[in-house]
Amino acid sequence: MSIVPKENIEVIAQSIGINNLSSDVALALAPDTEYRMREIMQEAIKCMRHSKRTTLTADDVDAALNMRNVEPIYGFASRGPLRFKRAIGQRDLFYIDDKDVDLKDVIEMPLPKAPLDTAVHCHWLAIEGVQPAIPENASVEVIAAPSDGKKLEQKDDGLPVDIKLPVKHVLSRELQLYFDKITELTMSSSDSVLFKQALVSLATDSGLHPLVPYFTYFIADEVSRGLSDYSLLFALMRIVRSLLRNPHIHIEPYLHQLMPSVVTCLVARRLGNRFADNHWELRDFTANLVASICKRFGHVYSNLQTRLTKTLLNAFLDPKRAMTQQYGAIRGLAALGPTVRCFLRNKRMR
C-alpha cells in the first residue's frame, strides 16, 4: 500500500499530456514513485546535515537530484513560504498557487544587470615613466593635492623629501566633556568631594588613555604658570598620582613631560604665595610620588633614577639654594630608598 494515491499519478500524467492513463498503471506506478521520493529525501537530509543545518531547503533537494543524475526542479528556489490550494473536486489534492505571468510582459521587461563576479585583472601603473590616464590610476591632480597631509621639500643635493604634516588628534564628545570637567574642578574646586571622586575615576577608568597627552600638557602648563597657587599645585600632583595608579593607561611615553613638573614641585624655591600654605606637605607628597615613579619605571629607563639623584644632590649641595629647596632635595633622596642613601654616604666619605 503506497502513501502516494493513484489520483496523484493520474494528475501528474495529465500535466505532461498523458490523458488516457489507466487506473491499474497508476496504481502500479504509485509504489515506485514513493520509493524514488524516499530515496531523494534521504539524500537531501544528508546534504542538510553536512551543511550543519536543521531545516531542509529546496537547495538540499536539488543537490540530492544532482547526485542521482536527475535534472533539478526549477522554480522552487524561493525562500518564502509556498501557498497551496485545494484542487476542485478533490479532497486530498493540492497544488501551488502560482501567479499567472504573461509571456509578452516577460519578453518586454528590461534585462537585469548581470552580477559581478570576483575577478582579478592587471593594468599598467606607468609605461616608461608615464602614467596612463585610465580609471584605475589616480590622476596627477589628486596625487599632488595638498589635502593628503604631506609636504614635499628638497635636500641639499636636490632630492625630494616626503614630510608628513602633523595629524590632528580627534577626541570623542564624551572625552572632551570629561577633560573639561576635570580641568575645571582642578582649577576651582580642588577641595570638593567631587574632585576626590574625579581622582578615583582617573585611577580606575579604562577608557582614558587618549586623554593622557592632554593631561600631561595641562599639568606642565599649569605648574609653570601657577607656582604661587599652592592648592592648584597640590591638585595637579594628585592628578599625576591617579594617572600613575591607573592600570589601563600606558603612561611611559609621557614621563619625560611629567617629570619636570613633578621635580619642580619638589625643589622649587617657593610654592604658594601665602604664609598659611603648607608647602612642606606638598614637598613630602611629591617626594613619595617621585620614589614611586622610579620604582615602577626604573627598569624601563635605566638612567631615570641616576639623573634624578644627580638633580636632587646638586640642589642639596649648592650653598646658594634656599632652605626650602634643600629640604625638598633631602626628602626626595630619602624617599628613593636606603640604597641611594648608602651610595651618597660612601661617596661623601671618599
pLDDT in tens, 26-74: 888 888 989 999 999 999 999 999 999 998 888 899 999 999 888 888 7
pLDDT in tens, 269-295: 888 777 667 888 888 888 888 888 888
- The bridge status of strand 150-154 relative to strand 84-86 is unpaired
Exposed (0-12), middle (13-18) or buried (19+): which is 255, by Cβ within 10 Å? Answer: middle
Chain centroid to CA 164: how far?
24
Rg (CA), the chain: 42
Q: Model-level pTM?
A: 0.50
C-alpha cell at position 188? 576651582
Is 317:307 a contact under the CB 8 Å cutoff? no
pLDDT in tens, 111-164: 888 777 777 878 777 776 667 777 777 765 555 555 555 555 555 555 566 565
C-alpha cell at position 243? 594617572
Q: Nearest CA to 326 among 264, 284, 269?
A: 269
Alpha carbons within 13 A on the beta-carbon side of 174: 3
Neighbours of 42 (CB within 10 A): 10
Q: Which CATH number fits domain 173-349: 2.60.120.620, 1.10.10.10, 1.25.40.770, 3.10.310.70?
A: 1.25.40.770
Dist CA 20 CA 73 (whole Å) = 25
Please, what is the end-to-end C-alpha distance for the chain in angstroms?
A: 115
Q: Is the pLDDT of residue 166 over 60?
A: no
Q: Is the pLDDT of residue 179 over 60?
A: yes
Q: Phi-psi bin for 165: left (phi > 0), alpha (psi -120 to 50), beta?
A: beta
Which residue's entry shows cell 600606558? Answer: 250
Report the pLDDT value the prediction gives residue 349, as an integer from 0 to 100: 43
Dist CA 290 CA 335 (whole Å) = 8
Q: Which of 1-15, 230-244, 266-280, 318-332 has the highest average model confidence (pLDDT)?
A: 230-244
8-13: list long-range contacts, CB under 8 Å, 24+ apart: 8/93, 9/33, 11/87, 11/93
Is 344:327 a contact under the CB 8 Å cutoff? no
Question: Coil, helix or strand for 31?
Answer: helix
Going 124 to 125 to 126 to 130, the CA torsion angle's sign is positive
Report the pLDDT value the prediction gives residue 102, as an integer from 0 to 100: 87
The CATH code for residues 6-106 is: 1.10.20.10
pLDDT in tens, 184-202: 998 888 788 898 999 999 9
Higher-confidence residue of 242 and 226: namely 242
Task: List C-alpha distances in Å: 272 to 52, 223, 230, 280, 296.
Answer: 74, 11, 4, 11, 29
Report the share of the chain in percent with pLDDT over 90: 13
Q: Phi-psi bin for 75: left (phi > 0), alpha (psi -120 to 50), beta?
A: left
Average pLDDT over residues 156-174: 63
Mean pLDDT of the chain: 80
Average pLDDT over residues 90-112: 82
Is 247:203 a contact under the CB 8 Å cutoff? no
Report the share of the chain in percent with pLDDT over 70: 82
pLDDT in tens, 317-342: 777 888 888 888 888 888 877 766 66
Virtual torsion, Cα 242, 248, 249, 250, nearest 10 deg: 140
Q: Phi-psi bin for 52: left (phi > 0), alpha (psi -120 to 50), beta?
A: left
Domain locations in the chain? Answer: 6-106, 173-349
